[in-house]
A and B are shown apart, each in its own frame.
Chain A
Amino acid sequence: MIFLVVDDSPTMRRIVINALKTFGYNDVVEAGDGQEALERLKETKVDFVITDWNMPNMSGLELTKAIRGDASLAHLPILMVTTRGLKQDIIEALKARVNNYVVKPFTPQVLKEKLDAVQKALQGS
């Protein structure tokens, strides 16, 4: 399974990738913003997107909308990982059709739970 980790903070990308590796997911590509993520998606066959919200050039929300608007990518599961925890933010993310939502700072356990939950939901549907 190939993950795309999108975050403008190299520290956060490293933390997420490190956590993914402890879960046994070693195939990871990374991007610093939404635009770069779309480029990675053209180059690599990604199975799962983990994205931050606040990013320069193209935000995680805009990236989610772009993915959902592209027939070839629309099926991709998206997990939003962000500092934004306001009710309105979550509603906006849901409207953009993210599959799940994790607020920073998170524990690896929470990240694993959400990844499993998304995969389980996709298998069920």
Chain B
Amino acid sequence: MKHKDISVLLQKADELRALFVLGQRVIPFLEEIFIFVSEIQPLLDEINNSIQENLKKMPSASKQLSKVTEATEMATTEIMDIVDGILYKVDIINANFKRLIDISQKNRENPIKLLESIYKSIKKGQDLKPLLPSLATSIAAMKNVSNNETDKILRETDELIQSISNDSSSIMISLQVQDITAQQIAAVNNLLETIQGKLGTILAHFHQSDIGELVHHEINYDEKIKVSQLHRKVAFDPDAVEAIANKEVRQQQVDDLIDKHSQGGVEAIEENFSQDDIDALLAGSGADEEAIEEIAEEEVADIQGGAAEAQDVVDAQEEVAEAQDEEEDPFAQFSQDDIDALFGK
């Protein structure tokens, strides 16, 4: 072997040694990366699941809020229509008062003219008999005005005032939408708070992990602000807004139920309405029966299992309602008649 060949070999061996030294230095770093990725994977899975879960809830929240908008629009339109009607009636009442004032003036003018004529005649010592025809005409005219026109105007005005009173009651009924929409918004706030809580937990995990050290900008997040506590505490029925949509039939159905109760007690209702009613409910809907039962059972099991937070109940009701949403279920809510049927009128 030539001297030149040996020096090349030594140079290559030196390069190889440098490569091994580099490898030895890189391996612990690669191990750290491996550990880091394995630790981060559950967190990324959690973030992924949470985002998916919360994204699923968003359409429901949007749907609830859009129902609130619909309900308030409907109530506002109703109230505006009623107020328009009231203003129209007030105009008629004003016109009637003007007519009554005119009639009252005429009623005063005629007797005054007549009395003046009588006064003059007596003063001049004239015979009053020639005045008798005009006296009779004036009396008849006064009676006629008094009996017919005035009475008619007063009757009409009385009816209008009664009608305005009914309109005021209708406005009061329409204003009940405030309570109903407040409950619906409270349900959405509750949902937002659940999402806030979950995102807050993820953020805490994120900052506690190694990856958190890579983030230079602190996320400005005030965990003390709870959306549901920005207003007075509102207990809510998550389906409150449905009350407006079915207001015509609900009371009727509830009354029927109460009538039945008055005849046979609670047991009778439960017997009457248990399986048959469920069958009727499901048979009438286009929803997947198994899916509904499955959702309901799963959610009920979760709730009974002790993991039940208020949101679980809301979610359960929402999911069941969504599954049933394909066709309106006339038996889901009960009217006043159902209630009457239970309690007896």
Contacts and interface: CB of A to CB of B under 8 A. Distances in A.
A121 B251 CA distance: 19
Interface stretch (A43-51, A63-71, A77-85): A77-85
A15 interface: yes
A106 B169 CA distance: 11
Interface string B169-185: 10011111111101100
A103 B339 contact: yes
A85 B343 contact: no
Interface in B249-276: 250-251, 253-254, 257-258, 261, 266, 269-270, 273
Chain A at the B interface: mostly helix, strand, loop or mixed? mixed
B284 to A, nearest CB: 14
Interface residues of A, number: 40
B244 to A, nearest CB: 7
A79 to B, nearest CB: 10
A36 interface: no
Nearest to B232: A8
Contact of A83 (B240, B261, B345): B240
Contacts of B64: none
Nearest to A59: B235
A1 B163 CA distance: 29
A105 B266 contact: no
Interface string A2-14: 0000011101100
Nearest to B255: A101
Nearest to A55: B235
Nearest to A108: B169
A54 B240 CA distance: 10
B338 interface: yes
Nearest to B265: A94
B82 interface: no
Interface string B74-115: 000000000000000000000000000000000000000000
A97 B257 CA distance: 15
A34 to B, nearest CB: 10
A11 B261 contact: no
B320 to A, nearest CB: 11
Contacts, number: 132
A85 B179 contact: no
Report the contact-size class of chain B (Cβ under 8 Å from the partner). 35 or more
Contacts of B331: 87
Interface in B181-221: 182-183
Contacts of B176: 11-12, 15, 104-106
Contacts of B250: 85, 103
A54 B178 contact: no
B234 A103 contact: no
A64 B277 CA distance: 27
B333 interface: yes
B116 interface: no
Contact of A100 (B273, B334, B343): B343
Contacts of B336: 102-103, 106, 110, 114
Nearest to B257: A90
A100 B344 CA distance: 8
Interface of A: 7-9, 11-12, 15, 18-19, 22, 53-57, 59, 82-87, 90-91, 94-95, 99-108, 110, 113-114, 117, 121
10 contacts: A8-B232, A12-B176, A22-B169, A85-B246, A87-B257, A103-B336, A105-B244, A110-B336, A113-B345, A114-B336
Given A11-B176, A104-B176, A105-B243, 15 more contacts: A8-B232, A9-B178, A11-B179, A15-B176, A56-B234, A85-B246, A87-B334, A90-B342, A94-B266, A94-B343, A101-B339, A101-B342, A103-B250, A108-B169, A108-B173
